[in-house]
Chains A and B, each alone.
Chain A
């Protein structure tokens, strides 16, 4: 049986849950297994329930499911918190020697393995390694070669010295041996290993990596969950490539610094989440009217206001699509998985410079904090192409000057894209402003010039609409009359849901859309289907709204807004019910 493993470790925040989970995830990935992680975490530093979950298989895994096979419970509450996902064959590893765990009740037919985690850890050199003992125990239960754990421990603790590594290896062995000696072997797990060398990373890290690959040299930000990882990733790395990360005093400053760097010619970005994107809104219009290339990442979390900072939501779509006063030409790109966070970041920089516009990179918490395995080639640095757009050098300036030899940074061209002279270019000194301006960049209230400039800026979007490929990705049965559409991180769960639906003889055509604006025209697809369902993690269906508007039709919606991402099996069930339901509510 199961090669598909759902494992979790849960306890109090501060118990080292995260790093323990990461070590196991790494061990699995180093053994050539695919890994998909998720986190339950509360918005506090110590205390409060927290868990790290891993799904792992030799085939690719793209989502979480409602099933937990092995649970390392450091607290009793961990079992209660996961009751819904535990099943009769689940194994719970806990430390029955600890007084607070003595009277623990293992629910239903589940198997409880009482392993003296703390005592064995002390024997190996310190109680702090109790989680590692538990990992050793998990290796035994799953028939997973413990040597793979060794290599992850080396990576994690190598810098701290050999003896720390050895103690941890020893702790793991003790856990493994205890289970082997004390319990009859009736676990039917068999975790295969392969020769594959995967890399394991999360969406925020992939965004940071994409930024460096794309030549981004300047990042200004202000810490906020769940976007902070982007900044932490870039700090210490971007410097190696001649760049700089600045922790600004607030988001207003962050986006304006990034804008300044972009005007100086650097590829520049900022990243934030809901409350921060609100503050940045003021500057969206300035970026657009001064025609400055800028990448603004919004890693969405649950709102409004401070909302649920550590929970999933896709509630900022309208904000990035419509945020800011006046009408602001912009692009909104929404990666659908961790690897795409890398690719779409590279693309965002090219779009920004090619069209001299703000580009919003709309990611979400589930993707940002999810670690996922990939073939290293997925992050193909050789394939990275840099398109800096219409930058003019000293010799080209003259072609863009007016009769008085003044450079025209906002010259109204046929495609709407104007020449761009970086500061330092000779004879091209010019100003740019958030005020409406003429081709020279100077303020105007001339009605004709106003219209010309607004049209020019909008024309850039039209040009992009025609020149770039905004297609969605398609899965499932292309001839099905049931059409499901989603955006962002729902793609993985939905792809797997297709399998569940197929088991129930329900066939579905699934379109995953990574572009919100410009977006693919799905009107024909929507019209030709009998049933159309739009899946998103928000209450009101913001993407469903725009699709209904595009196609002038009503679609059914599957929405989730409890703060947790979609799970494949749950999603399949919801879609099944929607397909059978009569009414379509707007």
Chain B
């Protein structure tokens, strides 16, 4: 079936209710294209989403999907992938979802290195709750809950991922369709946890981190001499607070995903009609 799959097969017949111009449109399109390009189809794909404007993505895509609770999408994706390694698992959410309420899960998902793809639609604001500061909001960004700015430095998700032992760390810009698709595709192809932070502007509540801002400031790593397998170079770029980078910042090509390390290769949905063979040994152990 996969040879005939087009990216539109991943589109549901539900019209997105995102604001016209929202960065999430581009982010989603790239994800669908990347899935199709990597030979997946809706029947073997599982999309997990959190809560937020970004989290609505599961509704607009067509695949097996779960739209869960705020901040907990990564654990759900982990369970799905470990239980059925045949599925292509993609987890999506916002910066609030992933780096605030879900920050703990993020660090641990990174270090657990389950073979799935995590796309964060980073608009540096809380969209769905109508414009409060997010963990990636700038220190002086005025919002309804931070009238004088958050007065605390933003989190650097790429640095978090690198320090947690991330094996694939990338960043893209939703509107740069070709690069964004390519980067997500690389994340899917990566053996392990593929993390992509996507600049996905909120046209309604964020007038600072706009399309124009990103367009003017983004540096594409492909146009530098950056070698993504060089951790030191990645560190330097990631900690560079003055620039916004696009591309794969770090990839560990030796990465061994969780399932391989733990010898998980079968679909756990396949169970016998009764107690498994050898179950009586479990009882004998207690003699």
Contacts and interface: CB of A to CB of B under 8 A. Distances in A.
Contacts of A433: 58-59, 66-68
Nearest to A217: B268
B75 A257 contact: yes
A3 B66 CA distance: 59
A263 B283 contact: no
Interface in B56-103: 58-59, 62-69, 72, 74-84, 86-87
Nearest to A233: B282
Contacts of A186: none
A161 B143 CA distance: 69
B82 A218 contact: yes
Interface string B228-241: 00000000000000
B104 to A, nearest CB: 6
A424 B76 contact: no
A386 B272 contact: yes
Contacts of B48: 260
B44 A424 contact: yes
B72 A264 contact: no
A237 interface: yes
B84 A382 contact: no
A199 interface: yes
Interface string A13-37: 0000000000000000010000000
B87 A424 contact: yes
Interface centre among A200, A424, A429 (most CB of B within 10 A): A429
B46 interface: yes
Interface stretch (A115-123, A239-247, A548-556): A239-247
A259 B43 contact: no
B266 to A, nearest CB: 5
A214, A385, A433 — most chain B CB neighbours (10 Å): A433
A34 to B, nearest CB: 14
B287 A443 contact: no
Interface stretch (A248-256, A298-306, A357-365, A485-493): A248-256
A266 to B, nearest CB: 4
A192 interface: no
Contacts of B69: 256, 282-283, 286, 434
Chain B: interface size category = 35 or more
A39 B284 CA distance: 24
Nearest to B17: A443
A215 B276 contact: yes
A567 interface: no
B121 to A, nearest CB: 18
Contacts of A522: none
B99 to A, nearest CB: 15
Contact of B108 (A218, A253, A427): A253
Interface in B129-165: none
Interface string A365-405: 00000000000100101101110000000000000000010
A267 interface: yes
Interface in A391-435: 404, 406, 422-435
Name the residue in A30, A286, A428 with the highest tally of chain B Cβ atoms < 10 Å from its Cβ.
A286
A213 interface: yes
A558 interface: no
Given A431-B58, A434-B69, A260 B283 contact: no
Nearest to A282: B69
A437 to B, nearest CB: 9
A275 interface: no
Interface in B20-47: 42-47
A246 B78 contact: yes
B268 A265 contact: yes
A253 B105 contact: yes
A261 interface: yes
A265 B279 contact: no
A434 B282 contact: no
Contacts of A261: 79-80, 82-83, 268
Contact of A435 (B65, B67, B282): B67
A447 B285 CA distance: 56
A205 B283 CA distance: 10
Contacts of A430: 64-65
14 contacts: A199-B283, A215-B272, A217-B271, A249-B104, A260-B75, A260-B83, A261-B79, A262-B79, A263-B64, A376-B284, A424-B43, A425-B43, A431-B59, A442-B59
Interface of B: 13-14, 42-48, 58-59, 62-69, 72, 74-84, 86-87, 104-105, 107-108, 262-264, 266-269, 271-276, 278-280, 282-284, 286-287
Top 10 nearest A-B pairs by Cβ distance?
A: A260-B79, A265-B269, A215-B271, A431-B65, A266-B268, A256-B75, A433-B67, A217-B268, A261-B83, A199-B286
